[in-house]
């Protein structure tokens, strides 16, 4: 029994050390692979116009999981009427029971960290339910990303960045 206890303790120590190293180094998401903590220069000043994000194809978003280890992903962004919007699209055949993990995390806790280039912004996301606002954002997204085709029956979640 003592051997099993020592093995469990060694595994626990290794996991804690790995989490400490990852929390220091970050581990940004890459394309379709999720990541953990987002690192960069923290911007604390208000952003009055997010139009500068049009030069970036994607941004990284760090959400808060129920198990306390951050979950970060890469997603598309659109600036509309001076505000920043993030989208999450998935086809009917690829839908998780309640949506993507990062969408579920936002539903539970809307506080996020957004990384644009080497800068990070701590903000809050709001789920867009207004059909007119959502349609306007999706039209701009179609212009910015003409190569991205949304299949019929796909679910598209739109989130507005708040906190300025």
Which pLDDT belongs to residue 149?
78
CATH tag, 29-162? 2.30.110.10
Which pLDDT belongs to residue 51?
95
Which pLDDT belongs to residue 96?
56
Which pLDDT belongs to residue 140?
95
Instruction: Report the candidate in 85, 95, 23 with the shortest Cα–Cα distance to residue 51.
Output: 85
Residue spans of the chain under pLDDT 50: 97
Write the CB contacts of 23 (distance below 8 Å, at least 6 apart in sequence). Answer: 36, 37
Instruction: Report the candidate in 80, 159, 105 with the shortest Cα–Cα distance to residue 127.
Output: 159
Name the pairing type of β-strands 71-80 and 58-63: antiparallel
Which pLDDT belongs to residue 152?
78
Which pLDDT belongs to residue 33?
65
Domain boundaries, the chain: 29-162
Which pLDDT belongs to residue 29?
65
Write the CB contacts of 19 (distance below 8 Å, at least 6 apart in sequence). Answer: 69
DSSP 13-65: HHHHHHHHHHHHH----BTTB-BS---SEEE-S--S-GGGGGG-SEEEEEE--
Query: Could you identify the residue written with the tokens 């998401």?
Result: 29
Which pLDDT belongs to residue 89?
84
DSSP 103-133: HHHHHH--EEEEEETTEEEEEEEEE---HHH
């Amino acid at each position: 029994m003592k051997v099993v206890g020592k093995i469990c303790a060694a595994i626990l120590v290794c996991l804690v050390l790995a989490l400490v190293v990852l929390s220091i180094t970050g581990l940004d998401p890459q394309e379709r692979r999720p990541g953990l903590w987002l690192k960069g220069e923290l911007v604390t000043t208000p952003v009055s116009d997010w139009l500068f994000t049009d030069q970036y194809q994607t941004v990284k978003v760090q959400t808060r999981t129920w198990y306390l280890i951050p979950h970060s992903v890469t997603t598309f962004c659109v600036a509309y009427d001076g505000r920043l919007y993030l989208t999450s699209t998935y086809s009917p055949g690829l839908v998780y029971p309640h949506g993507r993990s990062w969408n579920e995390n936002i539903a539970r806790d809307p506080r996020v960290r957004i990384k644009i280039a080497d800068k990070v912004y701590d903000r809050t996301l709001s789920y867009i339910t207004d059909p007119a606002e959502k349609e306007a954002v999706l039209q701009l997204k179609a212009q910015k990303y003409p190569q991205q085709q949304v299949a019929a029956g796909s679910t598209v979640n739109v989130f507005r960045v708040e906190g300025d």
